[in-house]
Amino acid sequence: RVFLLRIFTLVALIGGLYALGEFRRRRPGEPPLDKGLVPWLGHVLEFRRNTLTFLERMKQKHGPVFTVQLAGFYFTFVQDPLSFGALVKASREKLDFNKFAAHLVRRVFNYEAIEADHNILQISSNKHLKGNGLEVMTQAMMSNLQNLMLYNVGLPADKKTWMEEALFAYCYNVVFRAGYLSLYGNEPFDSKSSEETAREKDRAESEALFYEFRKYDQLFPNLAYGVLPPGKKREADRLTDYFSNFLSVQKMKTRDNISRWIWDVQQAQEEAGMKESMINRHMFVLLWASQGNTGPSSFWLLLFLMKHPEALKAVKEEIDKVVKESGQEVQQGGPLLNLTREMLMKTPILDSAVEETLRLTVAPLLTRAVLQDMTIKMADGRQYFIRQGDRVAVFPYSAVHIDPEIHPDPHSFKYDRFLNPDRTKKTDFYKAGNKVKYYTMPWGAGVSMCPGRFFATNELKQFVFLMLVYFEFELKNPDENIPGIDFRRWGFGTMQPDRDVQFRYRLRH
């Protein structure tokens, strides 16, 4: 009996080690394999602590393609920008985004995705977040930004008085709330309640929403890694419920100006037979996707402009010219600026400054599940076998955004980096003599590329436009260094600063 027990223990142990991936060996033709010292966890602790330095270390050790173990999964990183095309264009039967995304949203938002989700989002986004649809969204955003930023313009107390605020808190607050109101609609008004009361309610409600959102935002990195302690996990669950109620289908039906983007997604999910409680949770997923990055990006953009007076001057001159050419003049007590989509399309210098900001501060991790054994073909002709069940990932921040060969002096903000001398958009970037197609990837690429990218860029530009047209602003301490990046958020989109910066602003006119 003792003998049998020993055999059983041995078999269980071997089975356990096998399940933990201990027996995996590199096969001929596969990329270098680095499992890390801890069974199953592999390198995940170092990866989580600082994804950038970990991946740079692995690249130094193994070259641009390597397989590492991260919490039970084998990830093959492809960090050669000239070879991204092969991954981006790989067929969906081989590399799949949905499976990975579904896993993440279940863990983070308690949301059970359905097969049709991706398609539903694509259709609605193509209709309403670009082209003509964007015209409507731009107007909504404009009206909401003006409500939040200018509602007290002209009040005697505020005339020419400097107001001091923390820049990150200010930018995130305004852009989040205006973005939320533009997508999820406004408080209605009628003969009984005035427009001003409704606008006041929009301001108060969006403020309350932002306050809770920031709590969730802080929990997010550890929630996504599945390492929140129980108390914090309960807090995250409470917040998920709060947002699902706040954004529920029933509530949305009572609002005015709800965007067609949100409306169409809700309708399509209802038609696909999804339970209303689940659609409500999806409304929070979309709030997260649409509002978690734009606010932080607007902070970096304003900060870089303030730290680079030549950039600020160039952007300001461009904006003043566009306003003048539109025949409008911003005056105290005069009508509010009507900033149209057409005006926003005449700002190449601002466009370049936005792209440069995103290059320096947006760091998504693009991940695909490997559905079949496959071969990755590199630009230099090498080939690697990849196993079914593994994952393939790209971290463009280190592979392209800060590659000094593609972007010389990569850690400096150069507002005209993406401008040709004739002020057209610069798209020619080279590595080892080859043209790099994916020279920045803040929006991801291929099937999972951000469907909100045109709207997001517009939001950033509208915010900066209004700041420059209506206010003068400056850092409280102009010599203050640009804050560092909070490393916990590598891989999740726009990075956040590790501290805030004080600035002040006052009306220009």
Helix (H, G, I), strand (E, B) or coil at 460: helix
Contact 120, 269 (CB under 8 A): yes
Answer yes or no whether residue 101 interacts with ligand HEM by CB under 6 A: yes
| 146 or 294: CB nearest ligand HEM | 294
* Residue 450, annotated as binding a ligand: yes
Cα atoms in the 13 Å half-sphere on the side-chain side of 286: 30
> Quick check: 83 and 378 in contact, CB under 8 A?
yes
E-strand ranges in 282-341 read: none
Q: What is the distance between the alpha carbons of residues 286 and 120, in angstroms, rounded to a whole number?
A: 13
Q: Any contact of residue 442 with ligand HEM (CB under 6 A)? A: yes
Closest Cα partner for 68 from 14, 97, 31? 31
Nearer to ligand HEM (CB atom), residue 129 or residue 406: 129
- Number of residues interacting with ligand HEM: please give it, by CB under 6 A: 24
Q: Is position 493 an interface residue for ligand HEM (rule: CB under 6 A)?
A: yes
Shortest Å, Cβ 497 to ligand HEM: 15
Contact at 8 Å (CB) between 470 and 308? no
Q: Is 494 in the site for ligand HEM (CB under 6 A)?
A: yes
Ligand-binding annotation for 481, yes or no, is no
x-or-dash pattern for ligand HEM, window 109-138, by CB under 6 A?
A: ---------x--x-------x---------
CB of 255 to ligand HEM, least distance (A): 17
Among 178, 450, 467, 501, binds ligand HEM (CB under 6 A): 450
User: Does residue number 443 form part of the binding site for ligand HEM (CB under 6 A)?
Assistant: yes
Tell me which residue of 116, 108, 496 sits closest to 287, measured CA to CA.
Answer: 108
378/394 Cα distance (integer angstroms): 14
Q: Which residues contact residue 191 at a Cβ distance below 8 angstroms, ignoring those fewer than 6 apart?
A: none
Calpha distance 131→128 (Å, rounded)? 8
Span from 219-227, 268-276, 338-346, 451-459 in contact with ligand HEM (CB under 6 A): 451-459
From 185, 452, 491, 497, residue interacting with ligand HEM (rule: CB under 6 A): 452
Q: Which of 456, 464, 468, 469 binds ligand HEM (CB under 6 A)?
A: 456
Rounded to a whole number, what is the distance in angstroms from the first to the last CA of the chain? Answer: 92
DSSP labels for 275-331? Answer: -HHHHHHHHHHHHHHHHTTHHHHHHHHHHHHHH-HHHHHHHHHHHHHHHHHTT----
- Contacting residue, 147, 186, 347, 448, with ligand HEM by CB under 6 A: 448
Best CA proximity match to 368, nearest among 34, 87, 115, 119 = 87
Range 336-395, binding ligand HEM (CB under 6 A):
362, 364, 366
Q: How far is the CB of 214 from ligand HEM (least distance, A)?
A: 17
| CB 24, min distance to ligand HEM, A | 26
In the complex, which residue's CB is closest to ligand HEM?
Answer: 452
Quote the least distance from Cβ 436 to ligand HEM, whole Å.
18
Q: Does 294 bind ligand HEM (CB under 6 A)?
A: yes
- Of 461, 431, 474, 429, nearest to 358 (Cα)? 461
In whole angstroms, what is the distance from residue 146 CA to residue 144 CA? 5
Tokens 């971290």 found at: 395
Place of tokens 């801890």: 38
Q: Which stretch binds ligand HEM (CB under 6 A): 68-76, 334-342, 377-385, 441-449?
A: 441-449
Residue 375, classed as helix, strand or coil, is: strand
Which positions touch ligand HEM (CB under 6 A)?
Answer: 101, 118, 121, 129, 286, 289-290, 293-294, 297, 362, 364, 366, 442-444, 448, 450-452, 455-456, 493-494
Binding-site residues for substrate sit at 107, 293, 391
Binding residues: 107, 293, 391, 450
- Known binding residues for heme are 450
